[in-house]
Amino acid sequence: HKEKINAAQTAGVRKRTTKGEFPRLEESLVIWLRQCRGQKVSISGNLLKEKAKEFASTLSIKNFAASEGWLTNFKKRNGVVFKKVCGESGSVDDAVCLDWHDEKCHGGKHSKERLTVLLAVNMDGSEKLKPLVIGKAMKLRCFKGVKSFPTDYRANKKAWMTTELFNNWLLTVNGDMKRQKRNILLFLDNCTVHNSPSTLSNVELYFFPPNTTSKLQPLDQGIIHNFKTFYRKEIVKIVLESLDKQLLTANITVLTAILLIDKAWRAVTPLTILNCFKKSGFLKENQENLPILIDDEEPAIEPLLDISG
């Protein structure tokens, strides 16, 4: 499918006030925003920061940090106002709307694509199982000519994890462990679809008690967040490339998402994984000030991911 960038009335500049520390960079960014306005393309704060980083590199500015503080001050200096678009305040990210404070976007469309991802990893991060990606259809145009995926891929009408899909995944893992003559203990969320088939020989399951996942599940201590951050950054790169080519759509297919999921999962480091297990209490060690190495940026445009750990 094609992910549409929200086609809203967007970037313009009302009145500039004081200059920032990097006037050439900000002048270039304002010109770029005006160009986006001319294309009627909405821009989120995170896209703005990524573009600012590009300009900093082009202008050989080495001490620039596209922080939230810089973004706030840039908006004040240049009259940038973030506003919900498309009239769906809960489903669309903030976008730059400078001169149309009371108008709603009627041409934009939020992505209806949905993917669910299951992730599994061992405690020291030395072995990350291939992600299981669940989409809405097995036969897609973007899959034509593709013989294999870097992830496992399954599908159902809602792109949800089901008991059948989960049990099939478990049996596959069990078969892999049996061939390798290994036995593993697998920790799971107490979820209704996480039923255990009776035929497991090399995988033992342990379910976290109800309402404890946020503290006991290592993937919830930063692994999933780290993974999603890497994924979103790749999406931002694609969107920015589309904007630079003056395209109103970023060609983000399910195949693209699968490739980015694989890339993002490989980018999660063993150190991050180990520290998340420490924070969950798997290792008796000082749990304060452990570096999880995550990034809180939330780019605006991405195929929707549900992550299961």
pLDDT tens readout for residues 3-49: 333 333 334 444 444 677 888 888 888 888 887 777 666 777 888 88
- Does residue 103 lie within any of the structural domains? no
Residues 137-191 pLDDT 10s: 999 999 999 999 999 999 999 899 999 999 999 999 999 999 999 999 999 988 8
Helix, strand, coil content of the chain in percent (nearest 5): 35, 10, 50
Q: What's the half-sphere exposure (Cβ side, CA atoms, 13 Å) at 219?
A: 20
- For the chain, how many structural domains are there in total? 2
> Do 183 and 227 have their domain in common?
yes
- Cross-strand bridge partners of residue 206: 187
- In total, the chain counts a number of residues equal to 309
- Domain ends where: 96, 130, 163? 96
Can you tell me the distance from the alpha carbon of 254 to that of 142, in angstroms, rounded to the nearest whole number? 7
CATH code for the domain in which residue 55 is found: 1.10.10.60
Same domain assignment for residues 92 and 118: no
pLDDT tens by residue, 154-166? 999 989 999 999 9
In a domain, 102, yes or no: no
Give phi and psi for 19, each to the nearest 5: -80, 150
- Helical axes 254-267 vs 223-244, angle rounded to 10°: 130
- How far apart (Å, rounded) are the C-alpha atoms in residues 219 and 117? 13
Domain that holds residue 80: 3-96
User: Do 223 and 280 fall into the same domain?
Assistant: yes
On whether both 79 and 135 belong to a single domain, the answer is no
Nearest CA-CA partner of 289 in 279, 300, 274: 279
Going by C-alpha positions, the residue among 139, 146, 121 that lies closest to residue 131 is 121
My answer on whether 71 and 130 are in the same domain is no
- Counting Cβ atoms within 10 Å, is residue 288 exposed (0-12), middle (13-18) or buried (19+)? exposed
Res 78: pLDDT: 83
